[in-house]
């Protein structure tokens, strides 16, 4: 009976994280599609009219971090993040749990540090309204926000996995 509130909390947290994961994955997909269409239009305009889109290369630089960092939490939640299965598959349940505690804790601490540093990196750029050197005004901070955004939810996923292992729910972590 005493574990029911914890189970409800974990279930609701997992549901919320899945919702955010899908939102970030959708954002990543939308950015990728937009980027592809923009490059296609830029190439067509350059080839047909010798008039490319202004600052398309610089715009690409702003969008690429969202593709890189937007799907990280989803990959961890879906079990497709990097794992050394050659070792994991041969371990006992207790060994897997011990390894998951270590990797989740290390992943949490490392990602929390990157989230913190990424936020400072973004905030300093935002505070001074940093712009790219391009033919049109493009805010650098817009691209720099992808790092703390993606890493924040990656951090929360590692923390969630850590809590699952500590509460004896290793089977809930996709491997």
- How far is Cα 99 from Cα 94, in angstroms, rounded to an integer? 9
Total-model pTM: 0.90
Q: Which tokens in the block code for residue 47?
A: 């080839």
In this structure, what are the phi and psi dihedrals at residue 139, rounded to the nearest 5 degrees?
A: -75, 120
Closest by Cα among 113, 106, 104, 126 to 175 = 104
pLDDT for 1 equals: 45
- pLDDT given at position 21: 96
Phi then psi dihedrals of residue 131, to 5 deg? -120, 150
- Per-10-residue mean pLDDT, the chain, length 175: 76 95 97 97 96 93 96 90 80 89 96 98 98 93 98 97 88 70
């Amino acid at each position: 009976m005493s574990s029911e509130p914890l189970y409800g909390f974990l279930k609701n947290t997992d549901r919320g994280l899945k919702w955010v994961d899908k939102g970030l994955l959708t954002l990543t997909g939308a950015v990728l599609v937009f980027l592809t269409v923009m490059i296609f239009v830029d190439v067509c305009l350059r080839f047909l009219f010798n008039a490319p889109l202004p600052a398309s290369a610089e715009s690409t630089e702003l969008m690429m971090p969202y593709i890189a960092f937007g799907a990280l939490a989803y990959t961890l939640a879906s079990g497709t993040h990097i794992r050394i299965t050659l070792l994991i598959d041969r371990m006992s349940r207790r060994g897997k749990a011990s390894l998951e505690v270590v990797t989740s804790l290390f992943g949490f601490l490392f990602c929390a540090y990157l989230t913190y540093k990424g936020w400072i990196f973004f905030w300093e750029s935002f505070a001074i309204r940093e712009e790219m050197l391009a033919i049109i005004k493009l805010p650098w901070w817009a691209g720099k926000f992808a790092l703390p955004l993606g890493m924040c939810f990656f951090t929360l996923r590692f923390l969630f996995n850590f809590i699952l292992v500590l509460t004896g729910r290793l089977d809930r972590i996709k491997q």
